[in-house]
Amino acid sequence: MNNNISEKDFLASYDASKYERPSVTVDMLVFTVSEEKTENYRKLPEKTFKLLLIKRGGHPYIGKWALPGGFVMMNESIEEAAYRELREETNIDSLYLEQLYTWGDVNRDPRTRVISTSYLSLVDSSKLNIQANDDADDAKWFTVTLRLQKEEKNITEQGYCLMQYYNLKLVSESETMIAVIKIEKTVEGRIVKIKREIVDSEGIAFDHAKIIEYGIERLRNKIEYTDIAFHLMPERFTLTELQQVYEIILDTELLKANFRRKIADMVIETNEYTKDAGHRPSKLFRYNHNPC
Amino acid sequence: MNNNISEKDFLASYDASKYERPSVTVDMLVFTVSEEKTENYRKLPEKTFKLLLIKRGGHPYIGKWALPGGFVMMNESIEEAAYRELREETNIDSLYLEQLYTWGDVNRDPRTRVISTSYLSLVDSSKLNIQANDDADDAKWFTVTLRLQKEEKNITEQGYCLMQYYNLKLVSESETMIAVIKIEKTVEGRIVKIKREIVDSEGIAFDHAKIIEYGIERLRNKIEYTDIAFHLMPERFTLTELQQVYEIILDTELLKANFRRKIADMVIETNEYTKDAGHRPSKLFRYNHNPC
DNA sequence: ATAATAGTGTCTTTCAGACAGTATAGT
DNA sequence: ACTATACTGTCTGAAAGACACTATTAT
């Protein structure tokens, strides 16, 4: 034991290289919502849900698309690393950042043992244009859809086994990628195990399809009971725009009157209105960050 | 760049030791609920909420109490490491395990850069007795209480700053430790930052007071909308016992009729009753892991 | 009988879901 | 006038909160 020396001596003689250590990285899930143009002058533009991916320029997974991210340096916290990567990859620095999950399977990365902490971040669409002008040639926004494709439940005496297959679709102007993620929830007596597994992930590097699926699930959950969606909104917005954001993230249609009741306390109306809309103008609102 | 060689050659020549790497550990929050004896033959025993801590036998923080845990080996996933540590420290292997958060501040550990992933685990009280017999001399269950002590909100034009001071109290037969954790939530425009900081943590090693506070908060949240509390219950239990568990975790009193309505779908009644209670016997229930 | 707990009924308020209705700019 | 959207009112049923009442055992 080391009880017989002082803490100071112990620390001075401590050899950190005694054990082999894994590399630690951060992976960023950067989501935004943008608008698609419409032909019909009356119709509102549709919203799309987007994720930022980077084309890998080197091995491994060369040419595949990956989440932006990188190694955590010794002199920065993992959260600082997350902010740094975000700045480096997107030039956007003021936004929402939340730690998601730490992925620690042994063979996630063919190079060496890599443990990765993923972060969820949300960018508002008004800043997206700045991003589009950016010269990072191999960074691209992909339209994301995640949909439950198949569900299978086997009931046993002691519990059950639920298997869900999710389809993740990532689309840019030039390419479409589809991944299938299998989520297996086993309940046996009081033992609960959830296993997330990539069944198929064409074009997506590493285990990133799994991370993306997890992030979207978290976002869908959190949007229901927190203010998180406002990080995707510009300073001023209409309630219909806000509703559209909820709808594309949740992948459902919502009833207008009910939606407005639900979010009423989170917004403050302004005196401004939209114009030139081809229909009745809409009042603009802003986020109420100080609800009573 | 490495684009001109094959992936195979790249991987063969990859030198993982190029960069300095942090150590990675897991820290386990093992909670249980146990009963305190009563003098009055009529009265029900009170429940207490307990956390397992280990007395540090070596530097650093020698003699202080820490969360059970240890280094992640190169050939195991972090989840496997969590299960292994749990087995090593407690001899209990079938229980609930959930990843909590990864703590990555630069100077969390005086030895070297250590990144730690914390796991929340719940043990049912019937297995607790086995544990008490265990010879791990320096492992001890502490009664936990976490209570908001002070709250301060400063409202600015752009948002607000909320500061909360939580009192964390850990009590065993022989000692009492108190820590104060400050949570600072800053909202400025659309920028939200949450900072968790240890103000005072006498007797608790590392930043573990912070981790404990975070874990209890998560548990309090999850108990409201999931089945998680049943992992703290034995096979058969009365509804009053279940209610007591909710009450000590949430640190509030609940109304019996309403509580029973709320958890009705999660339990199945049996034909058994408690006896020798000094009052009306109570029906025993079991967990319904298969609700419709 | 009594103390302590077990267990149920019901009133009220709140909130979610569904739907129907009215209002208004731009062409 | 017409189209597409903006915005509001209200009915219903479910769920949350509060409280009061009855039932049953060991001593």
The predicted-structure confidence for A23-68, as pLDDT tens digits, reads as follows: 999 999 999 999 988 878 888 999 999 999 999 988 899 999 999 9
Query: What is the CATH code of the structural domain delimited by A22-225?
Result: 3.90.79.10
- Could you identify the residue whose CA is nearest to the C1' atom of nucleotide D7? A257
Q: How does pLDDT run across B86-112, given as a tens digit for each residue?
A: 888 777 755 799 999 999 999 999 999
Mutation target for B interface from A8, A23, A102: give the one with most B CBs within 10 A. Answer: A102
| Nearest to B125, CA basis, from B237, B210, B212 | B237
Q: Between A16, A60, A104, which is nearest B77 by CB? A: A104
The nucleotide minimizing the C1' distance to residue B43's CA is: C4
Contact A236, A284 (CB under 8 A): yes
Q: pLDDT tens across B121-160, in order?
A: 999 877 765 454 444 568 899 999 999 999 999 998 888 9
Distance from CA of B19 to the nearest CA of A (A): 9
A133 pLDDT band, cuts 50/70/90, is: very low
Rounded to the nearest angstrom, the minimum Cα separation between A41 and chain B is 32
Give distance CA B244 / C1' D19 (Å): 20
Residue A172 — very low, low, confident or very high, per pLDDT cuts 50/70/90?
very high
Backbone angles phi, psi at A59, to 5 degrees: -70, 155
d(CA B63, CA A67) in angstroms, rounded, equals 43
Give the torsion through C-alpha atoms of A8, A13, A18, A24, to 10 deg: 50
Q: Are A22-225 and A233-287 the same fold in CATH?
A: no
Contacts of A107 (CB under 8 A, 6+ apart): none
CA of B225 to C1' of C19 (A): 30
Chain B hits for A190, CB-CB cut-off 8 Å, are 94-96, 124, 230-231, 287, 289
Domain ranges of chain A: 22-225, 233-287
pLDDT of residue A7: 78
Say what the pLDDT of residue A41 is: 85
Q: Looking at domain B233-287, which CATH architecture does it have?
A: Orthogonal Bundle (1.10)
Chain B contacts of A221, Cβ < 8 Å? none
CA dist A241 to A30, A217, A251, A253, Å?
Answer: 20, 22, 15, 13
| Residue–nucleotide distance: A255 CA to D11 C1' (Å) | 16
